[in-house]
Amino acid sequence: WDKDGFISQSEAFQLAQRSGLDPTTLETAWGLSDVERDGMLTYHEFFCFIHLITSVTRGARMPSLQEGLPPQLLESLMNLEPLEILVAEREESRSRSRSVSPMPGFLSGPTPGGTPRGHEQRTFTEARWAPSRREKRKYASLFERTDWDKDGFI
């Protein structure tokens, strides 16, 4: 990122490429998310973009531009808590999880299948269009770290 306070579509795609999704799918996610069509994402738009990508990597079918956003996701976006609240909750949760474990890696160590505890890959169901509280905190934290000049846009 060039730290200009905004993330352009190409910069957002660089972030989203880690998902392994094809460029057409990323373009659709962008088109569904950049509601204002201004080439940058607000907190709600960023949240939408990241959740669409996450859901598709878990098996969801990306809605088309004509279909629009799933109702569960729209409702979640309309009732999204302020960024500051979700970031504070994430920090508190991370702090609590570090202090609970009697030994490093005790609760987050590998499971018999080799996946760290708490990091199991979730599969997508239609109900998953509504992001979990944990996902909300994660996306808010990512937005805060990405919004370099704290103007509410990336």
Report the pLDDT value the prediction gives residue 53, as an integer from 0 to 100: 95
Amino acid at 47: F
Structure tokens belonging to residue 35: 């509601």
- C-beta atoms surrounding 77 within 10 Å: 19
Question: Given the structure tokens 């352009």, which residue do they identify?
Answer: 8
Q: What is the pLDDT along the chain (154 residues), one digit of tens a residue?
A: 555 656 678 878 888 999 999 999 999 999 999 999 999 888 899 999 999 999 999 999 999 999 999 999 999 999 999 999 999 999 998 887 776 544 443 333 333 444 444 445 567 776 678 899 999 999 999 888 887 778 888 7
Report the pLDDT value the prediction gives residue 75, as an integer from 0 to 100: 95
- C-beta atoms surrounding 60 within 10 Å: 19
| Residue 7 burial (10 A CB sphere; 0-12, 13-18, 19+) | buried
Alpha carbons 86 and 133: distance in angstroms, whole number: 9
- C-beta atoms surrounding 100 within 10 Å: 9
> At a CB cut-off of 8 Å and minimum separation 6, what does 81 contact?
136, 140
Alpha carbons 130 and 135: distance in angstroms, whole number: 10
